């Protein structure tokens, strides 16, 4: 194996990869990204997470159909036209057409029994604290192994259908669908555009940009 990637290099160079080579991903690599996922913080150490790994072509194809239908629905909504021309959305729409063919899909799932307030599928933002840190660990570990991922949620428009297809019980929700595979030619890690911390970090009080030591 190549040298171990440093933490800060992995963080700095992670970016959404949306085109993949057809090469398979080994069981060992999948296990390593899952081992990373379960090291993430877990509220009250309840570990209410599950990870569903899908490599069966027919299952991926069917999930991909829902994903594409969800994309078409989103495209018909007011407001989509404004964002659709951005590079991120064009790339995301390209992925949506081909997502059924990615080498691996990982569905990150979380139990919501007892945790969600209100009707199913709704709750405080803090519900996500039980699953997205693990998703991020999984994606960083993938980066560390040279595997591309991106964090997608569009399939949630067909949450019921996807859960039925995969046999996911009622008290569990899918929080993310993560395509996993080696980046296609022309895809590269690094270079994500971000507003600098000077614009998004405040000190002592909202809006105060100067650090007080």
Rule CB under 8 A: which of 61-80 touch a second copy? none
> What does the alpha-carbon distance between residue 84 and residue 97 come to, in Å, rounded to a whole number?
15
Task: Work out how close the CB of 56 gets to a second copy at its nearest, in angstroms, rounded to a whole number.
Answer: 5
Q: Which stretch binds a second copy (CB under 8 A): 63-71, 93-101, 180-188, 205-213?
A: 205-213
Of the candidates 2, 77, 85, 193, which one interacts with a second copy according to CB under 8 A? 193
Pick the binder of a second copy from 20, 29, 51, 68 (CB under 8 A). 51
Neighbours of 150 (CB within 10 A): 19
| Residue 70 Cβ vs a second copy, minimum distance, rounded to whole Å | 12
For a second copy, the closer of residues 59 and 69 by Cβ is: 59
29 binds a second copy (CB under 8 A): no
Contact between 188 and 194 under an 8 Å Cβ cutoff? The reply is no
Whether 122 and 173 have beta carbons less than 8 Å apart is answered as: no
| Binding flag, residue 57, a second copy (CB under 8 A) | no
x/- track of binding to a second copy for residues 146-165 (CB under 8 A)? ----xx-x--x---------
Distance CA 147, CA 114 (A): 35
67: nearest Cα among 32, 105, 28, 30: 105
Half-sphere exposure of 103 (CA within 13 A, CB side): 21
């Amino acid at each position: 194996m190549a040298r171990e990637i440093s933490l800060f290099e992995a963080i700095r160079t992670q970016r959404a990869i949306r085109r993949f080579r057809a090469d398979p991903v080994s069981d060992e690599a999948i296990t390593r990204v899952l081992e990373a996922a379960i090291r993430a913080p877990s509220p009250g150490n309840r570990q209410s997470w599950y990870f569903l790994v899908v490599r069966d072509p027919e299952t991926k194809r069917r999930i991909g159909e829902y994903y594409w239908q969800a994309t078409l629905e989103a495209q018909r909504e007011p407001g989509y036209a404004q964002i659709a021309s951005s590079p991120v959305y064009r790339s995301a729409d390209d992925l949506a057409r081909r997502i059924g063919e990615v080498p691996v899909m990982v569905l990150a799932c979380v139990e919501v029994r007892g945790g969600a307030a209100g009707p199913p599928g709704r709750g405080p933002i803090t519900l996500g604290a039980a699953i997205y840190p693990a998703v991020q660990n999984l994606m960083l570990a993938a980066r560390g192994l040279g595997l591309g991922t991106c964090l997608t949620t569009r399939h949630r428009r067909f949450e019921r259908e996807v859960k039925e297809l995969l046999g996911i019980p009622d008290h569990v929700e899918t929080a993310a669908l993560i395509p996993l595979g080696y980046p296609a030619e022309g895809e590269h890690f690094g270079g994500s555009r971000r507003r600098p911390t000077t614009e998004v970090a405040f000190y002592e009080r909202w809006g105060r940009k100067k650090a007080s030591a």
